[in-house]
Structure formats: structure tokens, C-alpha cells
Amino acid sequence: MSVETWTERTSAGASALRAPTRVARLRPKLGLADTLLQLWRAKWLMFLVFFPILLVGIGIALLAPTKYSANTRLLVRLGQEYVFDPVIGDAAKGAFPQQEEVLQAETELARSPVIAERVIAGIGLSRIYPEFAEAKLRARDGATYEVDQEALEAFAADFDVSSAPKSSILRMTFAHEDPALAAATLNRFVTEYLKYRQEVLSGKGAAGLTEQRGVIEERLATSDKALQNFLKQHGLSDFDVETAAAKKLFSDISDELAKVEASLREAEAKSAGLTRQMAGTAKDVDLYVETTSEQDLVKLRMERQDLLARYLPDSRVVQDIDRRIAQLEGFLKSAPAQGLRRIGPNPTWQALEADRAVQTANISALTGRSAALAGQKREAEARIAALAGLEPEYLRMKRDRDALETSAGTFATREQTERVRSELASRSVDNISVYEAARPPTRGDSTKRMIAIAAAIFGLLTALAIGLLRAWSVSSFATANSLERTLNLRVLAAAGDRSP
């Protein structure tokens, strides 16, 4: 509607009347009251938008099926599979996550499409989603994968898993039009979930350790062969033993050489001393033999006195003794005063000469032994030097071999431990208990009311948006206030449109 008005322009100290002006071409500035008035005027247009949307929503709600949600609850406790046990070393060994972290991990594990795929294969796609089974039969070979993915997406939409904060309960739900099938599917899901978590948490650990141990054992065999070739190339059987034997031989030879040198010095000193003693000792000496002729003469005289006691002086026996006495007296008168004198070798000099000969022989033997030991010592030193030159390469190869051997032993031990753990885990899941098994629900979770409410809300919002667009697109002025806000002029009077 157009309006003709007379306006008064106010300025600093001046006022004037202007001719009538048609302002229908201006964009009006609307307030809240103006906007509500325009919405009221566009109420039939808004109703025409809202009502069809509401009817469509009600139709969809009437066609929506009623689904029954089966529920099950699992009690989750901290198990051995969550305790950190490093393969190598003991860093952070025994660490374990918090209960909420365990539940979050179990929740994400339950959402795995692998479990849903096994459940659908176990129960049958035709039982859970017959429409997808028919579509799969009609689909070509290349399009069956898309149908399977759509079935998995539908299963994920019907399935839900959640846990409450500070709780050890894991809640699972599955919705289906058949309440008995919903409960059976959820119970089958729990069974497959428990099997799958065993495979994920502990099923492949031993296989991976076995494979890694095989790789390390191959490296160990290569390293051991290289070490054996190195020893064979240099004529060694055991490097450590031969190095220790060479060092011990060098030490023994050094000790023996020191003893021989000391003995040689001692023999030389003894020989020199004996030589000095022999220089001061006479080689020949006078030998004095003490005579017994006077004693024999005394004995003969005593014997003559005894014979005179029994015989006469002119008897033959007495005369024989007199003759012998006369001979001895004559001998004594002709013999020297000192007795008989003889010259011979000095026994002391001879003993010193014998000792010196022994020491000379010892010196010769010790000199030869010292020379032989010195040569052996040089050979031992050369052997030790040669082994010392080979030692860095040998130690490097031995370190590699020992490290690989230690790693192989560690992986073998860990492999057996992991196998035992996997076997125990396959027999029991003590940390996961079915707190409440799924049972067929008696009440369905209908979405009809939610669809109708959502359609009504969407229709209202759409109608309101259309009304606002209509109100903001009008170029006429609904009220005098709208005119004043638009032209920044005061309205003096207003009259209705007098056009026919």
C-alpha cells in the first residue's frame, strides 16, 4: 500500500513546508512491531508452507516401522592384556591404564565392523536385513561389496555401545523389528566380540615374536659364520683362550728368564770368588808322615824285659830281640829329626778347582737357557702383538654375535610367555563377564512421534523463514513509525489510501 504524506523538514532554526512526495520507492526500516505486523499479514502464506510439510512428516511417521531394542551389559575389569610388558628391557613394566581408558578401548573395539560382519554371516543376512539380501542376489558380482557395506552401515546404525563415567559396566543395544531376533543378534554379537578381542589383544603376539625370533636367528647364524671364518683365516680356534694362553706363556717365560738371569749372575759371582780363592791357595803342599820307630823300639825293649823273666840272656829268643833293637837304634840314628817328608797336590786347591769347574758348567748351561728363553719371549711378544691387532675386529664381531644371541634368547623366552598367555586367554575371559544377557524386549522404540515432531518443527521454521523473507522484501511503509525511521523525519499526519 502506498501513502502520501506532507512532511516538515527540521533544520537549524528553519522550517519549511514541502510539496507532497511519494516515498514508495524507499526501503523501509522495520522495527519489531512492524515485523510482527508484516508476519501477521503473511500468515496465510506461512500456513500454506507449514501445512504440507507437516502432512509429509506425518505420512513418513505412519510408514516408519517400530523397532525393538535389546540390551545387554558387560562387567569389564582390568585384565592381564592391559598390563604393559615390554619385549625388550623393563622400562615402565607393569604400567596399566585407568578404568575409563579400558572402557573406552573396549567401546571402540566393539564398534569394529569385523564383529558386525561375523555376526551377519553367522545369523544370516536374509534374517537380519532381507532387503539387502534380495539386493545382493540381484546385484552383479562387482556390486555385492557395496551391498555388504550398506548392510554393515545399517547394522552400525542399529547397534550402540556406551559406558557411564566412573563405571565398569559396558552397555550394548541392538534394535530390530523382530524382538526375538534383536536379542539373539545381540547375544551373538557378545560372543563374537569376546572372541575377536582375544585375537586382537593376545592372539597374534606369539606369531609376531616367532617371526622376529626367526629373523634374529638368521642374523645370528650369519654373524657366527663370519666369526668362525675370521678365526679360521688367522689360524685361531678360540681367540680368548689363545690370547690368555699367549699372555700366560709370556708371563711364565718372563718369570723363568728372570730366575735364569739371577742364577747366572749367582754362578758367575761364585766362579769369580773361587778364582780369587784359588789365586791365593798353593797348588802343591808338603806332606809330613809321623814315624813310629821309637814306639816300636820301646815296645821291643819292654818285650825283652818280659823274656828275661823267663829266659836267659844268651838264649836265642833274647838274642833275636836284641838284634832287632840294635837295628831300630841304628835306623833312628840315621833318620832326620822331623821324620819322613813328602810333597803332593793341595786338597784345598783341588776342591776349589772342582767347585769352579761346576760353576763354569752352570754358567754355560744358564747362558744357553737364557738365550733360549729370550727367543721364546720375543716370539710370545710377537704373538701377543699379532693378537692385539686382530682384537678390535674380533671384539666387534663378537659383540654383534653376543647381542644377537641375547636378543634371540630374550625373544624365545618372551615367545613362550606369550604363548602361555594366549592359551590362558583362549580358555577364559575372566576380566569380561556378561552382567546381563540380552532378552527379547516387550516394548518397541517407535520413531513415529519423533518424526512427526521433527516435521512440525521443520515446517514452523520453514514457514517463519518464508514470512520473514516476505516482511523484509516489502517496499511500502506499514506504519508511521517505519516512515520516521526510514526518512529520519517526523510525521505530522497520515491518511488512508484513497485510490479506488
Q: pLDDT of 389-413, one tens digit each? A: 888 888 888 888 888 888 878 777 7
Residue 429 has pLDDT above 80, yes or no: no
228 falls within a domain: no
pLDDT at residue 476, as a whole number: 55
Backbone conformation region of residue 28, classed left if phi is above 0, alpha if psi is from -120 to 50, else beta: beta
Per-residue model confidence (pLDDT) at position 226: 87
Residues 188 and 246 in one domain: no
Rounded to 5 degrees, φ, ψ at 200 are -75, -45
Please tell me whether residues 108 and 198 are part of one structural domain.
yes
CATH for 319: 1.10.287
198 and 245 part of one domain: no
- pLDDT for the residue numbered 76: 77
Last residue of a domain, one of 369, 389, 409: 389
**Do 197 and 253 share a domain, yes or no?**
no
Task: Indicate the pLDDT class of residue 34, thresholds 50, 70 and 90.
Answer: low
Average pLDDT over residues 99-104: 75
Residue 81 and residue 201 in contact, taking contact as beta carbons nearer than 8 Å: yes
Same domain assignment for residues 198 and 252:
no
The per-residue pLDDT for 12 is 31
Q: Give burial (CB, 10 Å; 0-12/13-18/19+) of 112.
A: middle
pLDDT on residue 442? 73
Report yes or no on whether pTM surpasses 0.85.
Answer: no
Do 279 and 155 reside in the same domain of the chain? Answer: no
Q: Is 303 exposed, middle or buried (0-12, 13-18, 19+ CB in 10 A)?
A: middle
**What mean pLDDT is predicted for residues 99-112?**
80
Q: Please answer whether residues 170 and 161 qualify as being in contact, where contact means their C-beta atoms are separated by less than 8 angstroms.
A: yes
- Split at pLDDT 50, 70, 90, the class of 455 is confident
Is 31 within the bounds of a domain?
A: no
pLDDT, one tens digit per residue, over 343-365 is 677 788 888 888 888 888 888 89
With respect to residue 21, please indicate whether it lies within any of the assigned structural domains.
Answer: no
Q: What is the rounded distance in angstroms from the CA atom of residue 424 to the CA atom of residue 298?
A: 127
Over residues 125-152, the mean pLDDT reads: 82
What's residue 78's pLDDT? 64
Q: For the chain, how many structural domains are there in total?
A: 2
pLDDT tens column, 18-32: 333 444 455 555 556
- Asked whether residue 144 is domain-assigned, the answer is yes
Q: Could you tell me if residue 147 is inside a domain?
A: yes
Which of 152, 175, 203 is the C-terminal boundary of a domain? 203
> CA 405 to CA 227: how far, in whole Å?
13
Q: What pairs with residue 171 in β-bridges? A: 73, 162
The pLDDT assigned to 86 comes to 54
CA distance 367 to 180: 111
CA-nearest of 33, 30, 21, 23 to 2 is: 23
pLDDT band at 11 (very low <50, low <70, confident <90, very high): very low
Residues 271 and 356 in one domain: yes
DSSP state of 71: E
- In angstroms, the CA 388 to CA 400 distance is 19
Q: Provide the pLDDT confidence category of residue 83 given band limits of 50, 70 and 90.
A: low
Domain shared by 177 and 266, yes or no:
no
Confidence of residue 342 (pLDDT cuts 50, 70, 90): low
pLDDT band at 255, cuts 50/70/90? very high
Question: Which is more confidently placed, 342 or 159?
Answer: 159
Tell me the residue type at 310: R
C-alpha 9/C-alpha 120 separation (Å) is 81
Query: Do 180 and 295 reside in the same domain of the chain?
Result: no
179 & 259 share domain: no
**235 Cβ contact partners less than 8 Å away, ≥ 6 residues apart:** none
Same domain? 172 vs 312: no
Q: What percent of the chain has pLDDT over 70?
A: 69
Last residue of a domain, one of 389, 420, 451: 389
CA distance 274 to 326: 53
pLDDT-wise least confident of 271-275, 369-373, 480-484: 480-484
φ, ψ of residue 259 in degrees (nearest 5) = -65, -40
Task: Using the predicted structure, report yes or no on whether residue 500 has a pLDDT greater than 50.
Answer: no
Q: Give the range of the structural domain holding residue 180, as residue numbers without chain letter.
A: 65-203
pLDDT of 159 > 50? The answer is yes
Confidence of residue 259 (pLDDT cuts 50, 70, 90): very high
91, pLDDT greater than 50? no
Assigned domain for 257 exists? yes
Look up residue 323 and give its three cell numbers. 838284634
Q: Domain for residue 157, yes or no?
A: yes
Pair (139, 274) in one structural domain: no
User: Is 1 within the bounds of a domain?
Assistant: no
> Residue 406 and residue 392: Cα distance in Å, rounded?
21
